[in-house]
A and B are shown apart, each in its own frame.
Chain A
Amino acid sequence: MVPLPIGISFYTFQGISLLVDTFASDKVDKYKFLVHKSFFRHSLNTALFISFFPQLVAGPIVKAHDFIPQIKEKALKDVDWESCFRALVLGYFLKMVIADNLKEQTFWILFPYFQNLSTVALLVMLFGYSMQIFADFAGYSLIAIGVARLMGYNINENFNFPYISKTFSEFWTRWHISLSSFLKEYLYFPLGGNRINKTRTYLNLMIVMFLGGLWHGAAWSYAVWGSFHGFALVSERFLRGRINLPDTMPINFLKMTVVFIFVTFAWLLFKLPEFSHVMNYMEAIVRNANMPLSSDLFLIKYNLLYSLPVCIYHLYYLYTKNGTPKTLKNLQPVIFGLMLFLIISNSGSPASFVYFQF
């Protein structure tokens, strides 16, 4: 194993963003302001941009042209305290109450523990892991955003309720938005995007997703994960226009379910980096169909309990998409007060953020 500096995946991309924005022929005029006239000042700006601690270790990945213009004197009176409070409380709730508790319930996904569990338990744990990885990463991103806002810096949202996505391309506009946006701007578009021809578009999508997978770690499981998503995007693009489904609620729900199931099964490659263990897990799902549920009820119960807030969070978004009803607005202090209480009284054992390893 080779030890790597913490956060290297993130600040390397930020460095690439700065270099490309400064020197690329199509950007050099647009982003002239990135390089300060004074070398000393420019060095300070660059150092701050690369080492800005709220997002240094695990993102969100910030682009130079979004961050550097914000570097100026800040005043406490300009801080949006309510927005910071919301981001921090929600972030810590997702991380400490949901992710940290779910991590203990989904521990049994690891090899060889899953061998003896019933099919229902295996599927519920996978569902739980899907919720866990969202809560962990989205929680961290919200904390980073909240802390950055306390210092007067706005970092873009990194998650936008990804599990209600109806298509894979929509999923990648809602999940780890800073990464997908970076890959689109600095890799997909320079490769030609979808401007050349269909075959080239498919190839570009596969390259981007393959490299996006490898960004997570130098292991084949991540590359395979990225390729799976690439294949899903390519298939979707191929079928677009060939299959036209009506825009009705049942069809949309079915689409969301298909995308969610695919994404959830793909997460198995994150939890079980060894491919043989992934295959064993899939085999166990089929093989253990007749195993009694009785000894797994506990595990199933708590996986579902701690996954529920993430489901409610997504349903809340669907319900309030066209505006938040007044009753809900009035209930917000109660919700945030309760979240604070649960952070103090219902946190799981502390663990490092999943994305710290990247």
Chain B
Amino acid sequence: MIKKSLIIFIVLFISYNLFIIHVKPETITQDNWHKNRIQAQEYLYNDNKPIAIAIAGTSLSAGLFGNLLPENTYNLAMGGQSTIDGLEIVKNKNRKPDILLIEINFIYTERSAQFLDNLFLPGLYMARKIFPALRDKYRASSIAETTLSSIKQHLYKYLNKYISDSKATSSVKLENKKKMKNKFDAVQIKKENAVKVIPALFEMNLNRMVHLSEAIPPEKIITNKKKILTDYKNYFERFGVQIILFEMPVHEKLVHSKKATHIRKMMFEIFPPDRFRYILPDNAAKFNTTDGIHLTPHSMMNYTLFLTNNLNKIRLPRYNID
């Protein structure tokens, strides 16, 4: 039984790897952490496109609209992760970006040890390079789902062609199907743009954030954080990476909180404004949030444009666009 099971496993594993290499199937993310791991692994393993700008941040900047950012920008800001996680990932890739954008809002959020350890586990790191089946992008159930969906679409197209060729009365059914599909798409678009903000919950979340923002971390933690950030600064400067710091807009009540003011002061100490560029939001009132810190989709779009415009004004060094 053991031998048979192992043989079946090996056959499945090799076939799956070959399928991925040759078919290059689309994937679907199953949850936030799956998405984060895919994002991090794609950055590490995909050398096809040079990355000119890398963004390290938290869930605040994870929603930046990729298609509105400058070309060859890779957003390593991930929901539930910290800015330090992004910095560590950039540090561990041999090829460094030209520019590193660092979000400063929640700079005190600790690195996710488990996330990074799993990413950089020595044997697994190399194995993922050789066997794409081991990467989260090619999770078997995700690929099965997208493959089945793709087969369904091809079948639908084939049936559509067959039916329209034969002039059957079922063209009415097809019209209905199209209508249903359009309705579904419309619902999807509406869903993406809709923001479920319940006033009572918004107030509760905002008050919680205001309360948390009134406390400055203990001296020991501040010293430790300064050291960590200084080490990263020195490391990236050695490789000629240009560091630009940015702050995501948050609710007005949080902009001048004790913690936010302290963070700005600390960052100015480590990354002096006469040597490093800062992109700070000019007017927090212009932006709306869902919970005091995360921007609504419309505000996120506006902020992405604001960030891109500011990046353009800084006159970034030219880089190759493939």
Contacts and interface: CB of A to CB of B under 8 A. Distances in A.
6 contacts: A104-B32, A112-B208, A302-B31, A341-B9, A345-B139, A346-B139
Given A115-B201, A342-B140, A89 B5 contact: yes
A341 B2 contact: no
A305 interface: yes
Contacts of A344: 9, 13, 133-134
Contacts of A115: 198, 201
B141 A338 contact: no
Contact of A340 (B6, B31, B34): B6
Contact of A112 (B32, B138, B196, B204): B204
- Interface size class for chain B? 35 or more
Contacts of B9: 337-338, 340-341, 344
B30 interface: yes
B183 to A, nearest CB: 12
Contacts of B141: 305, 346
A337 B2 CA distance: 9
Given A82-B2, A116-B196, A350 B13 contact: no
B98 to A, nearest CB: 31
A81 B2 contact: yes
Given A101-B30, A105-B31, A336 B1 contact: yes
A349 B114 contact: yes
A351 B117 CA distance: 12
A103 to B, nearest CB: 9
Interface in A307-358: 332-334, 336-338, 340-342, 344-346, 348-351
Nearest to B31: A104
Interface of A: 81-82, 85, 89, 101, 104-105, 107, 112, 115-116, 291, 294-295, 302, 305, 332-334, 336-338, 340-342, 344-346, 348-351
Contacts of A340: 5-6, 9
Q: Which of B9, B138, B191 has the most CB of A within 10 A?
A: B9
Contacts of B115: 349
Interface string B154-197: 00000000000000000000000000000000010001001010
Contacts of B37: 349
A262 B11 CA distance: 43
B201 A345 contact: no
Nearest to A333: B4
Contacts of B32: 104
Contacts of B276: none
B114 A337 contact: no
Contact of A302 (B16, B30, B134): B30
B1 A350 contact: no
Q: Which 5 A-B pairs have the closest CB atoms?
A: A337-B8, A333-B4, A336-B5, A340-B9, A341-B12
Contacts of B201: 112, 115-116
A323 B7 CA distance: 27
| Interface of chain A, main secondary structure | helix
Interface in B125-149: 133-134, 138-141
A345 B140 contact: yes
A274 B257 CA distance: 29
Nearest to B198: A116
Given A82-B1, A336-B1, A337-B5, A104 B12 contact: no
A345 B13 contact: yes
B205 interface: yes
Interface in B18-44: 30-34, 37
B309 interface: no
A92 to B, nearest CB: 12
B5 A345 contact: no
Contacts of A295: 191, 194, 196
B12 A338 contact: yes
A349 B8 CA distance: 25
A82 to B, nearest CB: 5
A134 B176 CA distance: 44
B31 A85 contact: no
A214 to B, nearest CB: 29
Contact of A294 (B13, B30, B140, B187): B187
Interface in B195-214: 196, 198, 201, 204-205, 208
B122 to A, nearest CB: 15
A85 to B, nearest CB: 5
A333 B133 contact: no
Q: Which of A89, A101, A105, A305 has the most CB of B within 10 A?
A: A101
Contacts of B31: 104-105, 107, 302
B114 A351 contact: yes
B118 interface: yes
Nearest to B112: A349
Nearest to A337: B8
A334 B8 CA distance: 6
A129 to B, nearest CB: 14
A340 to B, nearest CB: 4
A81 B5 CA distance: 13
A305 B145 CA distance: 11
